[in-house]
C-alpha cells in the first residue's frame, strides 16, 4: 500500500508542488506540463502484459531506458526545454522509487 501511494503520489503530487513553488508566473501551465510526463507510459502498450505490478519500468520500457533518461537530462540542461526535462525526470524518479519498493518486497 505504501508503494502504491508513494509511486502515484510522486507522479501526481510532486508535479503540482513543483509548479506551485517554482513557477509562480505560469503555475497552471507548468503543472500541466509537469503532469503530462505521464504520457511516456505509452511505451507500456508494447509490453506483454501491458501492466505488471511486479515489473520495474526502468530500463525495461523503451522510454524508460538509460538512453532515454540521458536525453531527459539533456532536455533539463537546456533552458528552453528545462521544464519538459524536469517533468520527464520527475516521472523517472517516481518509477525508480517504485522499483526500489518492489525490490524490498521481493527480498
Domains identified in the chain, total number: 1
Q: Would you state the pLDDT for residue 68?
A: 98
Radius of gyration of the chain (CA): 14
pTM: 0.94
Helix (H, G, I), strand (E, B) or coil at 90: helix
Show the domain range for 29. 2-43+55-106
Q: Would you state the pLDDT for residue 1?
A: 82
Q: Would you state the pLDDT for residue 105?
A: 79
Residue 49 lies in a domain: no
List, in order, residues 6 or more apart from 33 with CB less than 8 Å away. 83, 84, 87
User: What is the block-wise mean pLDDT of the chain (107 residues), using blocks of 10 residues?
Assistant: 90 97 97 98 95 94 98 98 98 96 81
Q: How many helices (H) and strands (E) does the chain have?
A: 4, 0
Amino acid at each position: 500500500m505504501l508503494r502504491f501511494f508513494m509511486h502515484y503520489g510522486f507522479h501526481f503530487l510532486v508535479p503540482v508542488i513543483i509548479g506551485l513553488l517554482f513557477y509562480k508566473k505560469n503555475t497552471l501551465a507548468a503543472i500541466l506540463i509537469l503532469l503530462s510526463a505521464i504520457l511516456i507510459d505509452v511505451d507500456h502498450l508494447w509490453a506483454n502484459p501491458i501492466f505488471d505490478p511486479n515489473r520495474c519500468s526502468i530500463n525495461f520500457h523503451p522510454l524508460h531506458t538509460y538512453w532515454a533518461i540521458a536525453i531527459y537530462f539533456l532536455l533539463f540542461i537546456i533552458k528552453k526545454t528545462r521544464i519538459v526535462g524536469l517533468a520527464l525526470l520527475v516521472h523517472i524518479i517516481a518509477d525508480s522509487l517504485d522499483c526500489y519498493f518492489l525490490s524490498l518486497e521481493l527480498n
